[in-house]
Structure 1
Amino acid sequence: MGAAVPGLQSSSPALVREPFAAVASCVCSGRNWLRLPLRRGDGGGSYGVKWIGRAGRERYCPPVCSSATVPTRLWDGVAEDREDYIKAGGEELDLVQLQASKTFEQPKIAERLQPLSDETLDLVVIGCGPAGMCLAAEAAKQGLNVGLVGPDLPFVNNYGVWTDEFAALGLEDCIEQTWGDSAMYIEGDSPIMIGRAYGRVSRTLLREELVRRCAEAGVGYLDSRVDRISEVNEGLSSVLCTSGRTVKSRLVTVASGAAAGRFLRYEPGGPEVSVQTAYGLEVEVEHYPYNADHMLFMDYRDYRCRDPESVDSEEIPTFLYAMPVSSTRVFFEETCLAARPAMSFGLLRDRLHERLEKMGIKILHVHEEEWSYIPVGVNLPMTTQRQLGFGAAASMVHPATGYSVVRSLSEAPLYAAAIARALRVSGGKATSSNSQEAAIEAWNVLWSGERKRQRAFFMFGLELILQLDTPGIKDFFVTFFQLPEWLWKGFLGSKLSSVDLIWFALATFVIAPNALRFKLVKHLLVDPSGAKLVQSYTGFGGGGGVVSSKSTDLKSVKGI
């Protein structure tokens, strides 16, 4: 919610800048399937190139940006399929990459961590975002020999968090500004006060803290992108880097962002990926019409002041999110909670400017422009594969809210402990069967039967949100924040057990207006996500069930 602000994830696609032409070298499993010259304005550049690979699997090459103001860019390599292409940015790929290519003065990882040695490692973590760095540090604390591999790039998104959640992670010193309460507007001029403090995270301080943790734990570092991962003799994996370096390790964890189809396999089927998009501006204004002591969590009011009957039922709702730095400097963001296909940045930009104009907010100076793109409701990774995942690469983004960072940071210690335990149980000698067993054990902790039931519930919520019109989404959020605090806080933070979520559903049904109740019942009975939810809870059709599932939950390995 609030796009990249609370739903932080690490996604650092490689950039190839060529002003007038580019060559798409589509590499799949180390082989060149297609080499095609593309020029700005070509049909292939506008819509991408699709073909069938030798294995009969559809392949997709992302489009070249045809904007006159943004340099042509290609995603390094190729999207493994259409789903991976959408995760990478889809039709908004050029602006997603522009956001990722921002430069800020932040500490360099290579200046703080020791260079990666040539010895065989216990664990390689690919990706230097918050999820990857936190996992690397925690795994090293478990006594593992850990290497971190990825480009030494700054954190570029504006991050916002509930202050109590960041304090629980020992990261309260990384918050640069705090608001004592958060406000939400649905109708009229009276806000709904959420009663929860919100904070803006310092990108620099967060990165400094995570780098410090890696340094203290003894994590080694290699500044390079990864070309591919292959299995070698004696149960080891080889990480082949674009720098020419090859790193051997017993296990590899991919934490390089949602578009990880090049390295990880995902469950087939399911609905197409949905996306939370947001367009933001940090600006100087003449005046700020809201209370600057409060963070504006959501303003769902119709800034056009239209008759509700005249609003197109197919219009996708968006809301205003704002963090006032002062009474005249504000970070505004127009956010689409979820859409399939993704709502374009162009439409969000137009809505934001129109909203600010209608509200009489005059922009005096623009400090920063932001494009936030968060895939939600993606398929789960296959938990029988040799390579591990974490963060957005492991589908840990909350399907119904876009939240990601707090879950990744909070689960890193437990997941690291599970990996260490699995490696110890598999024995000191690396063999193919031992490494495979260790990977499966770790996967089953990250995505236990309990976690899969929770996810089925969140996917049900996502599909409901996608179908709600503006009045419906307003009813939903008014109902949501009327729930007992432990329920709505737990839902946002992925803290509710599968049993707690049943209470959440019952309480929502009791409080909701009749129109929303009808939609909830219809959604449960008609939408495929309803059938999957029932299946996951009952165990019919192989879903496991609340009682029958024997998978290990993260909580069971705490303290290992």
Structure 2
Amino acid sequence: MECLAARNLAAMAVSVYPIMSSSRKKRLRNEIGFPIHTHSSYISTAAFGVRCGGTSGGSESCLALPVKEDFADEEDYVKAGGSELLFVQMQQSKDMDHQSKLSDKLPRILTGDNILDLVVIGCGPAGLALAAESAKLGLNVGLIGPDLPFTNNYGVWEDEFKDLGLERCIEHVWRDTIVYLDNNDPISIGRAYGRVSRHLLHEELLKRCVESGVSYLSTKVERIIEASSGHRLVECEGNIVISCRLATVASGAASGKLLEYEVGGPRVSVQTAYGVEVEVENNPYDPSVMVFMDYRDFMKHNVQCLEAQYPTFLYAMPMSPTRVFFEETCLASKDAMPFELLKNKLMSRLETMGVRIIRTYEEEWSYIPVGGSLPNTEQKNLAFGAAASMVHPATGYSVVRSLSEAPKYASVIANILKQPHVKNILVNSRISENISMQAWNALWPLERKRQRAFFLFGLALILQLDIEGIRTFFHSFFRLPKWMSQGFLGSTLSSGDLLLFALYMFVIAPNDMRKCLINHLISDPTGAIMVKTYLTI
């Protein structure tokens, strides 16, 4: 079901942001140093080829430097946005005037001889949640990272956000969610779906940080080293050094400069989506229902072009009878499907459907790395959220998991730091390694590793399927018992449940899909890794 959950929480980014004007594109181009065509959302591929580390000569060769300076390696660069990095930066740079600045609400971290219990690096949902929960348990917590707003809204299953006590952060709810595969008969999921307000979510998490006593420093972390005492020294821009007993990186998937990842793991894949919120004539969808996936082929196989090589679906949030958020989504690909191709495919789809756009309110560029290696769990620096590879490999889903696990992980960290032998100073390297390993084992126990190995196997399968294979897969998936399909999407199935899931899928799938599953298990490396991980005691 790997493809399905792409539009789950982390995979869905919706922000009310106007189409970028030519003057703003020019200003951003000058700030970033990348060529942007002012007439469209298009990046010079030649410049990005150089930026990716090419050896092209001439005046553009300087564009290779930011890759070496800003990212640990090629994998880290891909996680940050790779060839689509400019669009990712455009998404991150959106203006959100209504969101509070962290520096206006949180006291500044004291420097000098002050030693914090915990430093959390990164100010996204995962970082804010972990900082707030840790401070609530009595730890002296500092939060470090650029003071940036949440530029993405998220789509969530309403019941999951209610379980987190965050239902007030949902700004629009659809009582049912449907899927179209290969005909005009929708499949009802029978589950309410909500659009989260990025403003309300940011304010709620910030309020929790304020109430629990988190301090803050708006800067970029350059590296983390170890002091002779065993403390962590977080070195920031401007020669600022913050001392702490433990440091946790929650700065997103591209955190390779601060963390070590396992060598020889699976290559990271990418989920991309281009969306627009528009006023339309001839809205084809019922405004009371959210369209989770529409895999119907509106092009009728008449187009043989580059964008036709990527299986994609349409995701639609009807906000009113005439206002709709449409998003063309590539669930996963080994190389990111370019946003320009996604945009072309979306516009062609809407035109073929007879949808006439009257006004465009916003553009959206969603880029989610999926799969890849786990962090090295023997390192002393900790991680959380996407930096800790907590994104669901088969769905792109992560924020609900981060928000739900933050209290548990904070409790583990607090219990570790309150142990008698580490309560004062980490007197030697062995103790430092031991407490870090305790935290890593709590975040990534063997059970979680088994689940992830199963999801990686599923991701690899989706990467191999064409559009017909994906439709066949989902026809089987939506025949599963609801507890099974919903548990898969929400990462709540145990490793044993996942084996039952696989058996059930095999039984109800058509023969072609059964053959595909068997061949995939035998021939793909993720199959052997999954079996090995399940057999590990």
TM-score above 0.5, yes or no: yes
SS at match of 2:199: helix
Whole-angstrom distance in 1 between the partners of 2:95 and 2:525: 43
- Paired with 1:21 and 1:489, the residues of 2 have a C-alpha distance of 41
Q: Does 1:442 align with 2:435?
A: no
Change (3 A) 1:193 1:62: farther
Native 8 Å contact 1:6 1:160 kept in 2 = yes
CA deviation after TM superposition for structure 1 residue 271, in Å: 3.1
1:106-255 to structure 2, matched below 5 A, reads 106-118=99-111, 119-255=114-250
Say if 1:438 and 1:488 are closer, same or farther in 2 by CA, change over 3 A.
Answer: same
Distance 1:3 1:47 in 2: 30
Which whole-Å CA distance do the structure 2 matches of 1:51 and 1:250 have between them? 41
How far off is 1:435 after superposition?
Answer: 2.4
1:102-501 matches, within 5 Å, as: 102-105=94-97, 106-118=99-111, 119-306=114-301, 315-425=309-419, 426-431=421-426, 432-501=429-498
TM-superposed CA distance for 1:113, in Å, is 1.4
- The 3 A distance-change label for structure 1 pair 448 and 328 is same
User: Given that residues 394 and 456 in structure 2 are in contact (C-alpha distance below 8 angstroms), is that contact kept between their aligned partners in structure 1?
Assistant: yes
Deviation at 1:332, TM superposition (A): 0.6
| Structure 1 residue 429, shift from structure 2 partner | 2.3
* Secondary structure of the structure 1 residue equivalent to 2:69: coil
Higher relative contact order (CA 8 A, sep 6+): 2
d(CA) in 1 for partners of 2:61, 2:10: 24
How many residues of Structure 1 are paired with residues of Structure 2 in the alignment?
Answer: 503
In structure 2, list runs of 5 or more residues that go unmatched.
14-26, 35-42
**One-letter code aligned to 2:233:** S
Provide the rounded CA distance (Å) in 2 between the counterparts of 1:316 and 1:62. Answer: 31
Which residue number corresponds to residue 48 of structure 1? 51
CA contact (8 A) 2:12 2:366 kept: no
CA contact (8 A) 1:62 1:78 kept: no
Give the gaps of 5 or more residues in structure 1. 11-15, 24-39, 53-60, 66-72, 539-543, 549-560
**Amino acid of the structure 1 residue aligned with 2:408:** L
Structure 1 pair 43/335, CA: closer, same or farther in 2 (3 Å)?
closer
Tell me which residue corresponds to 2:38: none
Q: Quote the residue 2:22 is aligned against.
A: none
Greater shift, 104-113 or 419-428, is seen at 419-428
Contact 2:84 2:338 in 1 (8 A): yes
How many Å separate the matches in 2 of 1:8 and 1:41? 26
Cross-structure match for 1:35:
none
1:14-29 aligned within 5 A: 19=30
Residues 355 and 62 of structure 1: CA distance in aligned 2, closer, same or farther (over 3 Å): farther
* Contact in 2 for aligned 1:4/1:373 (Cα 8 Å): no
Q: Percent identity?
A: 55
CA distance in 1, matches of 2:295, 2:52: 38
Give distance in 2, aligned partners of 1:358 and 1:158: 28
Q: How far is the alpha carbon of 1:240 from its aligned partner? A: 1.3
Letter in 1 for 2:198: R
Q: For residue 43 of structure 1, report the CA deviation from its aligned partner.
A: 5.9
CA deviations on 1:48-86 (whole Å, 9 max, x unpaired) are 26499xxxxxxxx99849xxxxxxx95693211111110
Return the offset for 1:287. 2.8
Question: How far is the alpha carbon of 1:433 from its aligned partner?
Answer: 2.8
Contact 2:51 2:67 in 1 (8 A): no
The letter for the 2-side match of 1:324 is P
Aligned to 1:98: 90
**TM-score, reference length from structure 2:** 0.89
Q: TM-score scaled by structure 1?
A: 0.85
Q: CA deviation at 1:227?
A: 1.5
How far residue 41 of structure 1 moved from its aligned partner, in angstroms, is: 7.2
Distance change in 2, residues 1:299/1:388 (3 Å): same
Counterpart amino acid of residue 299 in structure 2: R
Aligned to 1:77: 69
Distance of 1:7 and 1:224 partners within structure 2: 25
Seen in structure 2, the aligned counterparts of structure 1 residues 417 and 533 have a Cα distance that, compared at 3 Å, is: same
Root-mean-square deviation (CA), in Å?
2.7
SS at match of 1:258: coil
Deviations 1:131-151 (A, max 9, x none): 000000111112111001111
Amino acid at match of 2:49: S
Superposed displacement of residue 112, structure 1: 1.6
- Kept in 2: contact 1:49–1:63 (CA 8 A): no
Asked whether the equivalents of residues 450 and 497 of structure 1 are also in contact (C-alpha less than 8 Å), the reply is: yes
The alpha-carbon distance between structure 1 residues 485 and 235, as it changes in their structure 2 partners (threshold 3 A), is same
SS in 2 for 1:280: strand
Classify the secondary structure of the residue corresponding to 2:329.
strand
Residue 396 of structure 2 aligns to a residue whose secondary structure is coil
